């Protein structure tokens, strides 16, 4: 019996360790001095300081709390009243409503998200706080009803009639008889609703806009690159939740000890505190929504037609001060939204979302030009075009820079640990080193069909924009053979921290990410194979449906200045299109002079940029599923 008890305790301890060790890991690394998420280099509060200095983080926290509180209150009231009214309805109506109520719960979130996106777009409703709140209320109501309905079914069906026979009005019967009986179900439903709203990501990601984002969206966009501020934010949320749970569990104990005279007062004061917190949260949201620099608004509207510009770009792709400096200099407000892929950005544009400036990649710009979704730029309003490096002028997809102005550019290459990998192997084998059995099980491959097929095409001597099916199938077989012999690990942006920590020997990496890796780990080197690689360009463009093209041109011109380009390049690590900044970054020993990944290869005939090849796009998508299929 004692052995059984010891065994159960060990299992319980291991279970708790399994659940709470990742949380403890996050807390510890929130105090890490370096950017690494795997190697602790010393205690520091720098990431907490950066978090509190980041206005986007604070805004996300406020939006999350306000929306969760309002959605919880509204959905709890609506869900409870609906459940109560159904008890007085006919069986057929009850079943119909209950089955309808089950649909949002059973439906995959992505389907609900796309449906809401199309619904709001069809009605031409501007996405933002309102659409996000409505969506949260919608998916929270079913959970409240599912919690309240079983409690109602357990009640005597004649309870309401009995109360009314004793003189109660229908309203009194509901509030003084029914509601107290089902209070546990109401509280349970409210807690579930709050939790669902607080941590929702998929639906929120599709229905929001105008710079409104919750914590889940913020963390997702920040996780695209190494940003330990996420750990600091997560730690604070964990601490707050722990405090709330502690208070919730202590209140009943304190109340139990306060029975008698002070018992009722204690109960009332508890409700008063909760009400005050709710009012404060809602008030903070209202106050937050109305603090948009009104003093500068009139001048900006008179000059540009609006004081607001909407920017849509990949996450973690901005200098620390560029937006704030632009706002201060021009007296405007910039709404920044992030996308995780060119395809996601394309989907939102197709759905009718309007942005003033977007920053897609080369092949996607070509597609947008073909579909006539971009405005031709007025180059007279962008005089800083003369500051561009010659390497990013007259790009293949936009020869005269009529539609696109370079934002960042770079290459794809191999990062390898020169302590464990023979540099001669990398230089002589090129992309084929990814199939060298000596390094089996020690390679990262970027989880991207385009980039993975690119290295296969180049290894075989083909163009990465080929439409020849024999060449495409040859590249497919190359990747399948790599899978069989090397057992590679497919990753995305977590490759940065993985290589900083020395988890693998070789990785396929974008040059900007490679720059960060080489800066953090002296054992790493960067190499661009002689067979050729992808030279990519991310550019600023103005969509046809932009609401403030005048301010968009002002922003593009501003981003080409030395100050903005320098801040951008220093923060993000990718190569600047500004010629002066590029030269300084590449030659300054305190910056990237000794970092071989920073300067992309220029003028090499085997290097290419991706084009918008529909045949290749469709074929690669089908073959990539087979490449990634479990063995």
Query: What does the H/E/C string look like for 326-346?
Result: HHHHHCCEEEEEEECCHHHHH
pLDDT band for 295, please (50, 70, 90 cuts).
Answer: low
Q: Residue 13: what pLDDT?
A: 82
Q: Residue 260: what pLDDT?
A: 54
Mean pLDDT of the chain: 85
pLDDT band for 486, please (50, 70, 90 cuts).
Answer: very high
Q: Residue 206: what pLDDT?
A: 86
Which range among 264-278, 310-324, 529-543 shows the weakest confidence by mean pLDDT? 264-278
The CATH architecture assigned to 52-289 reads: Orthogonal Bundle (1.10)
pTM: 0.75
- If you ran DSSP here, which 8-state letter would residue 566 be given? H
Contacts of 411 (CB under 8 A, 6+ apart): 510, 511, 528, 533, 534, 535, 536, 600, 601, 607
pLDDT digits (tens, 9 = 90+) for 243-267: 877 776 777 777 777 665 554 444 5
Q: Residue 197: what pLDDT?
A: 93
pLDDT digits (tens, 9 = 90+) for 530-545: 999 999 999 999 999 9
Rounded CA separation 584/224 (Å): 27
pLDDT band for 151, please (50, 70, 90 cuts).
Answer: confident
Q: Is pLDDT above 60 for 631?
A: no
pLDDT band for 75, please (50, 70, 90 cuts).
Answer: very high
Q: Is pLDDT above 70 for 4?
A: no
pLDDT band for 269, please (50, 70, 90 cuts).
Answer: very low
pLDDT band for 276, please (50, 70, 90 cuts).
Answer: very low
* Most confident option among 224-238, 326-340, 441-455: 441-455
Tell me what the mean pLDDT of segment 555-567 comes to: 96
The CATH class of 295-408+538-587 is: alpha beta
- Quickly name the fold that domain 410-536+592-628 has: D-Maltodextrin-Binding Protein; domain 2 (3.40.190)
Q: Is pLDDT above 90 for 280?
A: no
Contacts of 196 (CB under 8 A, 6+ apart): 136, 139, 140, 143
Q: Residue 2: what pLDDT?
A: 56
**pLDDT more than 70, % of the chain:** 90
Tell me what the mean pLDDT of segment 452-475 comes to: 95
Tell me what the mean pLDDT of segment 35-57 comes to: 78
Which range among 88-97, 182-191, 326-335 shows the weakest confidence by mean pLDDT? 88-97
What number of H helices and E strands is found in the chain?
A: 26, 9
Q: Which one has a higher pLDDT value, 471 or 298?
A: 471
**How many CA atoms within 13 Å lie on the side-chain side of 32?**
21
State whether residue 502 is helix, strand or coil.
coil
Rounded CA separation 329/207 (Å): 31
Q: Is pLDDT above 60 for 514?
A: yes
Query: What is the Cα Rg of the chain in Å?
Result: 29
CB 336 within 8 A of CB 56: yes
Q: Is pLDDT above 70 for 218?
A: yes
Rounded CA separation 146/182 (Å): 12
**pLDDT more than 90, % of the chain:** 41
Q: Is pLDDT above 80 for 446?
A: yes
Which range among 161-165, 298-302, 604-608, 625-629 shows the weakest confidence by mean pLDDT? 298-302
CB 49 within 8 A of CB 232: no
């Amino acid at each position: 019996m004692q052995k059984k008890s010891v065994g159960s305790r060990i299992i319980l301890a291991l279970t708790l360790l399994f659940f709470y060790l990742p949380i403890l890991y996050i807390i510890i690394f929130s105090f890490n001095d370096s950017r690494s998420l795997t190697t602790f280099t010393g205690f520091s509060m720098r990431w907490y300081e950066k978090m509190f200095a980041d206005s986007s983080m604070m805004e996300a926290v406020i939006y999350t709390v306000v929306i969760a509180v309002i959605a919880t209150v509204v959905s709890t009231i609506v869900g409870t009243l609906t459940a109560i009214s159904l008890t007085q309805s006919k069986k057929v109506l009850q079943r119909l409503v209950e089955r309808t109520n089950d649909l949002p719960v059973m439906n995959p979130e992505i389907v609900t998200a796309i449906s809401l996106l199309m619904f709001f777009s069809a009605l031409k409703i501007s996405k933002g706080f309102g659409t996000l709140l409505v969506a949260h209320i919608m998916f929270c109501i079913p959970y409240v009803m599912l919690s309240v309905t079983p409690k109602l079914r357990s009640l005597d069906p004649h309870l309401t009639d009995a109360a009314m026979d004793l003189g109660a009005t229908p309203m009194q019967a509901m509030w003084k008889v029914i509601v107290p009986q089902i209070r546990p179900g109401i509280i349970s439903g409210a807690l579930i609703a709050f939790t669902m709203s607080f941590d929702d990501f998929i639906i929120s990601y599709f229905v929001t806009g105008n710079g409104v984002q919750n914590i889940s969206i913020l963390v997702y966009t920040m996780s695209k690159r190494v940003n330990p501020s996420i750990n600091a934010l997560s730690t604070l949320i964990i601490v707050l939740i722990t405090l709330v749970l502690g208070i919730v569990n202590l209140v009943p104990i304190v109340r139990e000890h306060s029975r008698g005279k002070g018992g009722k007062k204690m109960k009332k004061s508890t409700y008063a505190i909760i009400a005050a917190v709710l009012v404060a949260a809602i008030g903070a949201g209202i106050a937050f929504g109305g603090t948009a620099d009104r003093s500068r608004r009139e001048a900006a509207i008179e000059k540009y037609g609006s004081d607001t510009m909407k920017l849509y770009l990949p996450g973690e792709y901005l200098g620390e001060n560029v937006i704030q400096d632009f706002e201060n200099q021009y007296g405007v407000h910039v709404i920044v939204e992030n996308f995780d892929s060119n395809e996601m950005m394309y989907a939102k544009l197709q759905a009718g979302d309007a942005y003033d400036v977007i920053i897609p990649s080369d092949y996607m710009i070509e597609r947008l030009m073909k579909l006539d979704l971009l405005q031709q730029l007025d180059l007279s309003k962008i005089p800083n075009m003369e500051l561009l490096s010659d390497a990013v002028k007259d790009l293949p997809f936009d020869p005269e820079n009529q539609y696109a102005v370079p934002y960042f550019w770079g290459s794809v290459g191999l990062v390898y640990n020169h302590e464990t990998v023979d540099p001669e192997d990398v230089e002589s084998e090129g992309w084929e080193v990814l199939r060298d059995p000596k390094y089996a099980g020690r390679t990262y491959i970027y989880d991207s069909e385009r980039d993975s097929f690119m290295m296969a095409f180049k290894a075989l001597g083909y163009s990465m924009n080929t439409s020849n099916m024999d060449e495409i199938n040859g590249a497919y077989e190359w990747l399948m053979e790599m899978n069989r012999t090397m057992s590679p690990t497919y990753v995305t942006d977590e490759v940065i921290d993985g290589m900083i920590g020395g988890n693998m020997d070789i990785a396929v990496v974008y040059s900007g990410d490679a720059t960060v890796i080489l800066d953090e780990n002296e054992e790493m080197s960067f190499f661009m194979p002689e067979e050729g690689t992808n030279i990519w360009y991310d550019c600023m463009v103005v969509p046809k449906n932009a609401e403030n093209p005048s301010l968009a041109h002002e922003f593009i011109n501003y981003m080409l200045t030395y100050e903005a380009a320098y801040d951008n390049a220093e923060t993000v690590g990718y190569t600047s299109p500004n010629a002066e900044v590029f030269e300084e970054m590449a030659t300054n020993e305190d910056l990237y002079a000794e970092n071989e990944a920073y300067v992309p290869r220029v003028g090499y005939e085997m290097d290419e940029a991706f084009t918008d090849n529909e045949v290749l796009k469709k074929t690669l998508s089908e073959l990539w599923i087979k490449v990634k299929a479990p063995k």
